[in-house]
Copies of this chain bind each other. A is one copy, B any other.
Amino acid sequence: MTQQTAGLAGVIVGTTAISTVGKEGVGLTYRGYDIHDLAKHCLFEEVAYLLIYGKLPNRQELNHYQKKLSSLRELPADLKTSLELIPQQTNPMDVLRTACSLLGTLEPESNKLKQTDIADRLLARMPGILLYWYHFHHNGTRIQTETHELTLASHFLHLLTRKKPNPQHVITVNTSFILYAEHEFNASTFAARVTVSTLSDFYSGITSAIGTLRGPLHGGANEAAMECISTFRTPSDAEIGIKKMLAEKKKMMGFGHRVYKISDPRSDIIKQQSAQLAKDHSEGYFHSVAERIEQVMWNEKKLFPNLDFYSATAYHFCGIPTHFFTPLFVFSRLSGWSAHIFEQRQDNRLIRPEADYVGEKQRAFMPLSERK
């Protein structure tokens, strides 16, 4: 373990057939398909199906899959009661982590309820879980978590706003879900694989992943980016502010990447969405602010924006509260996590590494009565 490979940076720890990240000349592919094609042409449901079931669905399979997901949106009564007990000021990621774990007690994995069905249930229900909790505590309403919306993106936005969503917002959220769906052995996916490598259950794997994604060095980055962007009103304010931050050795979230070395192929796609939405938004200047931050970060640090950076402004323009940004990452990445859990189980070996010991040499034991 050298300083370079600390945190397993660049260390190959297994094989995967699910995605390639940053491989030479390929950028990002899900099961061989380029992310640009998927983001341009697909519903998120097609991509989730690709990840979970291994192929892009045909029309009939997609219809069936969308119907299945729609039919699973109702939450068990005991889950709703528990959500009411979770305080209003809770980090929403803790709500999702707890709800996932609780679902594992209410509807455990079994021969009757198999891993793919649990994956689909979690995909279908996570927006309802977040928004049932949210509306109960913020508006005193017990919302109905079923809608007639056919996609996860429109379903989420409908539950958030309690009305038919803006079509452009649906497009942006759908695109972001595709971009966030899968990313090889990132920390949350790796945590899920470590967890199920003991032959633990599916819910334990996803619960670990949600808790891991929560941190600002991973999923939490899109929220941290928005918090920073929203402190500026003009590009020149931003330029001054970011340079000051860098001089103070503060970290700007949403830039650079452990695996991508030149650019993040997902960034331009979501940046376009952000630019489009900025045109008609009263706070559209946040997009220009973000562009200036991008410029400064490149000039000063040679760091490029990753997916989390322009997702922040794009989500903001869709009217999504900042503390829901990482939960949206969960809604989507559930598909990739699920695929990785299946893959880990298919050819399982316990993930149990070792450590270099750097502590106290062996020392003589001293009985309680003699200790100072």
Q: Which residue of B lies closest to A97 (CB)?
A: B101
Given contacts A7-B349, A7-B350, A94-B101, contact A359 B85 (CB under 8 A): no
Contact B106 A87 (CB under 8 A): yes
A71 sits at the interface (CB 8 A): no
Given contacts A11-B354, A108-B94, contact A218 B198 (CB under 8 A): yes
Mask for A66-90, Cβ within 8 A of B = 1, else 0? Answer: 0000000000001001100111001
Contact B29 A362 (CB under 8 A): yes
Mask for A209-237, Cβ within 8 A of B = 1, else 0? Answer: 01111111111100000000000000000
Contact A17 B360 (CB under 8 A): yes
Contact B8 A357 (CB under 8 A): no
Partner of A355, one of B13, B81, B205: B13
How many copies of the polypeptide does the oligomer hold? 2
Segment 94-121 of A: residues with Cβ below 8 Å from B: 94-95, 97-98, 101-102, 104-106, 108
Q: Which residue of B lies closest to A361 (CB)?
A: B32
A353 sits at the interface (CB 8 A): yes
Contact B194 A194 (CB under 8 A): yes
Contact B14 A355 (CB under 8 A): yes
A33 sits at the interface (CB 8 A): yes
Contact B198 A359 (CB under 8 A): no
Contacts of A46 in B (CB 8 A): 368
A207 sits at the interface (CB 8 A): yes
A139 sits at the interface (CB 8 A): no
Given contacts A101-B97, A191-B191, A357-B16, contact A199 B212 (CB under 8 A): no
Interface residues of A, Cβ cutoff 8 Å to B: 1, 6-21, 23, 26, 29, 31-34, 37-38, 41-42, 46, 56-59, 62, 78, 81-82, 85-87, 90-91, 94-95, 97-98, 101-102, 104-106, 108, 184-188, 190-191, 194-201, 203-205, 207-208, 210-220, 258-259, 349-363, 365-369, 371-372
